[in-house]
Amino acid sequence: MVDSADDLVAAKAALLRTPGGRRRLRPEALRTALVDLHDFWLSARAAAAGLGAGVALVAVGALGRRELAPHSDLDLVLLHDGRHEIERLAERLWYPLWNAGIGLDHSVRTPGQAVAVAAGDLCAAMGLLEARHIAGDAELSGTLHAAVRRAWRAGIRGRFDEITDAAAQRWRTAGDVAHRVEPDLKNGHGGLRDVQLLDALAAAQLVERPGGEVAAAHALLLDVRTELHRLAGRPRDVMRAQDADEIAAVLDLGDRFELARALSGAARAVAFAAEVGLRAARGGLPRRGLAALRRTPVRRPLGSGVVEHLGEVALARGASATRDPALVLRVAATAARTGLPMAPATLHRLADTAPELREPWPRPALDELLSLLGAGRGTVGVVEALDRTGLWGRLFPEWGAVRDLPPRDRAHLWTVDRHLVETCAQAARLTTRVARPDLLLVGALLHDIGKGRGGDHSVVGASLATRIAGRLGLGASDVAVLGALVRHHLLLPHTATRRDLDDPATVTRVVDALGGNGLVLDLLDALAEADALATGPGVWSPWKQRLIRDLTGRARALMAGEPLPGPGPLSAANRELAAAVLADGRPQVRMSGTEAASVVVAAPAAARVEGPGPLSAAAGVLALHSLQVYAAELRTEGTVVVHEFLVSPRFGGLPDPALIRADLIRVLDGTLVLADALARKERDYAPAAPAAHDAAPPRVLWFDDEASGVVVLELRGTDRIGLLHRVAAALEGCGIELRWARVSTLGSSVVDSFGVGGRRPAETERRRVEQAVLAAAG
């Protein structure tokens, strides 16, 4: 029996327990049990309180929708007809719940008052649409239900803009459930609030109730949120990365990546339905007054078989995908170019009637594809709409392996399929830089198509890309170029940021890999930029751009038979800095720029018996002054070593270079112990809730360059305050001679490469160095 509110809490706790290490109830069954438990207790309590004719208890919110998660608040309305001493009844219902610590949102209203509140409060109105009778006078509850829905339908035209504005604001604030690493399952774009939005539009008789795909997506979102509540032990709507593996196991989804993929697909189905539903609802708003007398807008021609109608791209009368093989892509390209959405009816008609294109594609179809891919930002939403209705997969069957595929690299913001389309949007801005913009756009679309299949995605993707290129109707030479573009799409960024560009062997290897093909080189140059811009914030930087441009220029010169430039002389400003070092034997610092600043540090190159070397000292002092290093280069000129860092302040403004120089002198003199100072810095400024336990473990890779005799040590890990200082100090402590260094920070990840000169380290020495570097990065 569940007599008191404490009994209710105990019974709820019993439902959540996992006896014998096994979960007692699956998420759906748990929600059902929780709803039944609360319904039973509230009904019994209402009967004991004396609820009879003229008084009713109604549930709204999660309990009203029968979607009660383990720690959802109870949203209750005590209805009355105005003829009862309602305060006494309310106290007998609410106080036991408060005393037991149960979250409660309550109100006491007559049906008329409830309708009046709903008229002025959108959240209250949408909540009352979901009202469900619990106890008392069922006829009174029915009166409320009918009155709220009647008022909702009657007033929908006047508050539709408020509905769309509220949804847009919520999407901007919470972001996309499909693409967030830690999605807001309730409020995000494609989350549970959007399912409720669709139900509200259906209650206004503006759209049909969501179909099977949205229902399945809704169920998954509810299951994940239910388990999230259970794990957290409190209300929570944002799924953290560290919770994902356990939730995935409960839902039989393998691991966090399978869960992320399933969530992405579900959220995109809901988001697409919500966007289409809002557009359809606007078109279905009741017309009144003079608006009801206006003629239906004329269809404005936009292209062969394509018109604008009611602000959407639609099919012209008589247009047929069976007779016009390019029609699907022409509709899509027109929508992307004009910024008008494709009419849902048009998409469904095309999905039902459009046949697969014959191979090779007719030239008009290829032309329309290129027009779509070159439309910039407009391409993204159009491809999403085609994909949700099955049309994109019909054009590119290979898309299934990357659809909703979560990234393994934390620098990536998007799922793999969305990243490919985002890269197209970025590449569209760069088409005037290359001789073959068509191959750039198709290469951008396909460069990661090999992911999700196992093996090296560049190799797998090159094979798929050549097959797709042949199907599109490209010539044999273009097919070969596209295959090379996909195969080597990482060649320039990886080489430029991880190898010594002054070494002729570096450039020779790039040219040999491309077979001396200058067209492929130019296309790769543009693709590298588009790919980085579409990856996430901070991945493309002026420093990275300069390195790739330098590598491309050197490779182009070698292809043309021109002599490769040797290491360039120091700039005039850096020569002055080096001269100052030679004059008094002390380090010098120069800073230029504002938000992303260049810091040049020149110091004596002579090795010290004790204490940090020039690189670790400079990197440590920059970290001490709250400067985050995004990239770094090392040059040795005679007895002076010159480091150039690209930095930005973690917070506040840039420090005074004189203060950096003063601390650097103290470090090299031994009067400032960097290790202690950085430890205090990290302790004071580390995040309150670090996610280090969820970070990928650091890795050290070795690469031997037989041509130049240089060994490259590459560290991949998670960024932290003073990381470059610690790693450089570890290398210096191992007696490693550094010829050059490349440092790249990609979001919270780092890829740091160091060129090791002198004698080639033996295997045992490499293991010792590797352990020291991993300990420093740990």
Predicted confidence (pLDDT) per residue in 492-527, tens digit: 999 988 888 878 888 999 999 999 999 999 999 999
592 and 513 in one domain?
Answer: no
pLDDT of the residue at 234: 87
Structure tokens that stand for 246 in this block: 């356990």
213 and 111 in one domain?
Answer: no
146 and 35 in one domain?
Answer: yes
Which is more confidently placed, 154 or 690?
A: 154
Helix axes 5-16, 86-99, angle to 10 degrees: 40
Residue 740: its H or E element: strand 738-746
Q: Which residues of 185-206 are buried (b: 16+ CB within 10 A; e: fewer)?
A: bbbbbbbbbbbbbbbbbbbbeb
pLDDT of the residue at 159: 92
The residues, ordered by sequence, that sit 6+ positions from 657 with a Cβ below 8 Å of its Cβ are 589, 590, 591, 599
In the predicted structure, residue 24 carries a pLDDT above the cut 80: no
232 and 272 in one domain?
Answer: yes
Alpha helices in 204-255 (DSSP H): 212-232, 241-250
pLDDT of the residue at 696: 65
649 and 584 in one domain?
Answer: yes
pLDDT of the residue at 261: 94
Poorest-pLDDT segment among 300-304, 333-337, 535-539, 747-751: 747-751
Which is more confidently placed, 568 or 633?
A: 633
| Residue where a domain stops, chosen among 536, 564, 592 | 564
Structure tokens that stand for 412 in this block: 């990536």
Poorest-pLDDT segment among 195-209, 419-433, 661-675: 661-675
636 touches 605 (CB < 8 A) = yes
Flag whether 419 is in a domain.
Answer: no
Predicted confidence (pLDDT) per residue in 646-658, tens digit: 888 877 788 999 9
268 and 127 in one domain?
Answer: no
* Cα–Cα distance, 778 to 766 (Å, whole number): 18
pLDDT of the residue at 595: 61
Poorest-pLDDT segment among 440-444, 576-580, 707-711, 733-737: 707-711
Q: Which residues of 634-647 are buried (b: 16+ CB within 10 A; e: fewer)?
A: bbbbeebbbbbbbb
363 touches 327 (CB < 8 A) = no
Domain residue limits at 653: 578-777
Sign of the C-alpha dihedral, residues 126, 131, 137, 140?
positive
761 touches 737 (CB < 8 A) = no
Alpha-carbon separation of residue 272 from 56, 208, 388 (angstroms): 38, 14, 7
202 and 131 in one domain?
Answer: no
What percent of the chain lies above the pLDDT cut of 90? 57
Flag whether 501 is in a domain.
Answer: yes
* Cα–Cα distance, 152 to 134 (Å, whole number): 22
pLDDT of the residue at 629: 80
117 and 21 in one domain?
Answer: yes
In the predicted structure, residue 443 carries a pLDDT above the cut 50: yes
226 touches 183 (CB < 8 A) = no
- Measured at the CA of 165, the angle between CA 184 and CA 67, to 5 degrees, comes to 40
Domain with residue 132: its CATH number is 1.10.357.170
pLDDT of the residue at 639: 85
102 and 219 in one domain?
Answer: no
pLDDT band at 688 (very low <50, low <70, confident <90, very high): very low
pLDDT band at 759 (very low <50, low <70, confident <90, very high): confident
| Residue where a domain stops, chosen among 564, 591, 617 | 564
Residue 260: its H or E element: helix 256-283
3-state DSSP of 265-317: HHHHHHHHHHHHHHHHHHHCCCCCHHHHHCCCCCCEEEECCEEEECCEEEECC
753 and 725 in one domain?
Answer: yes
* Cα–Cα distance, 87 to 74 (Å, whole number): 19
Q: 350: closest CA among 365, 336, 330? A: 330
Poorest-pLDDT segment among 439-448, 521-530, 612-621: 612-621
629 and 552 in one domain?
Answer: no
pLDDT of the residue at 173: 93
Task: Decide: helix, strand or coil at residue 388.
Answer: helix
In the predicted structure, residue 2 carries a pLDDT above the cut 60: no
176-196 mean pLDDT: 93
Global model pTM greater than 0.95 = no
pLDDT band at 468 (very low <50, low <70, confident <90, very high): very high
Structure tokens that stand for 595 in this block: 């938000």
In the predicted structure, residue 157 carries a pLDDT above the cut 70: yes
Flag whether 424 is in a domain.
Answer: no
Torsion on CA atoms 386, 388, 394, 395, rounded to nearest 10: 30
pLDDT of the residue at 509: 92
Flag whether 556 is in a domain.
Answer: yes
485-492 mean pLDDT: 97
375 touches 428 (CB < 8 A) = yes
pLDDT of the residue at 17: 75
| DSSP per residue, 36-89 | HHHHHHHHHHHHHHT--TTEEEEEEHHHHTT---TTPPEEEEEEE-SSS-HHHH
* Cα–Cα distance, 167 to 382 (Å, whole number): 20
pLDDT of the residue at 692: 38
* Cα–Cα distance, 343 to 687 (Å, whole number): 47
Which is more confidently placed, 272 or 687?
A: 272
466 touches 482 (CB < 8 A) = yes
| Residue where a domain stops, chosen among 283, 301, 317 | 283
Residue 329: its H or E element: helix 327-338
625 touches 647 (CB < 8 A) = no
The residues, ordered by sequence, that sit 6+ positions from 385 with a Cβ below 8 Å of its Cβ are 272, 335, 341, 342, 347
Predicted confidence (pLDDT) per residue in 614-673, tens digit: 888 898 999 899 888 876 777 877 788 888 888 888 777 889 999 999 999 998 888 888
Q: What is the mean pLDDT of the chain?
A: 88
pLDDT band at 296 (very low <50, low <70, confident <90, very high): low
What percent of the chain lies above the pLDDT cut of 70? 92
* Cα–Cα distance, 773 to 778 (Å, whole number): 8
Could you tell me whether strands 588-592 and 306-309 are parallel, antiparallel, or unpaired per DSSP bridges? unpaired
Predicted confidence (pLDDT) per residue in 387-414, tens digit: 999 999 999 999 999 999 998 776 788 9
In the predicted structure, residue 293 carries a pLDDT above the cut 60: no
The residues, ordered by sequence, that sit 6+ positions from 138 with a Cβ below 8 Å of its Cβ are 56
Exposure on the CB side of residue 14, measured as CA atoms within 13 A: 9
320-339 mean pLDDT: 95
* Cα–Cα distance, 276 to 286 (Å, whole number): 18
pLDDT of the residue at 594: 67
Structure tokens that stand for 18 in this block: 């996992």
Could you tell me whether strands 640-649 and 627-637 are parallel, antiparallel, or unpaired per DSSP bridges? antiparallel
Within 10 Å of residue 673's Cβ, how many Cβ atoms? 13
* Cα–Cα distance, 514 to 518 (Å, whole number): 8
pLDDT of the residue at 89: 87
53 and 196 in one domain?
Answer: no
* Cα–Cα distance, 533 to 206 (Å, whole number): 40
285-312 mean pLDDT: 75
pLDDT band at 687 (very low <50, low <70, confident <90, very high): very low
Flag whether 293 is in a domain.
Answer: no
335-343 mean pLDDT: 94
Flag whether 406 is in a domain.
Answer: no
Flag whether 736 is in a domain.
Answer: yes
Number of domain units in the chain: 4
454-464 mean pLDDT: 95
Which is more confidently placed, 339 or 563?
A: 339
Could you tell me whether strands 597-604 and 588-592 are parallel, antiparallel, or unpaired per DSSP bridges? antiparallel
| DSSP per residue, 417-447 | HHHHHHHHHHHGGGGGGSS-HHHHHHHHHHT
pLDDT of the residue at 314: 95
In the predicted structure, residue 691 carries a pLDDT above the cut 50: no
pLDDT band at 156 (very low <50, low <70, confident <90, very high): very high
pLDDT of the residue at 96: 87
Poorest-pLDDT segment among 42-46, 166-170, 190-194: 42-46
Flag whether 344 is in a domain.
Answer: no
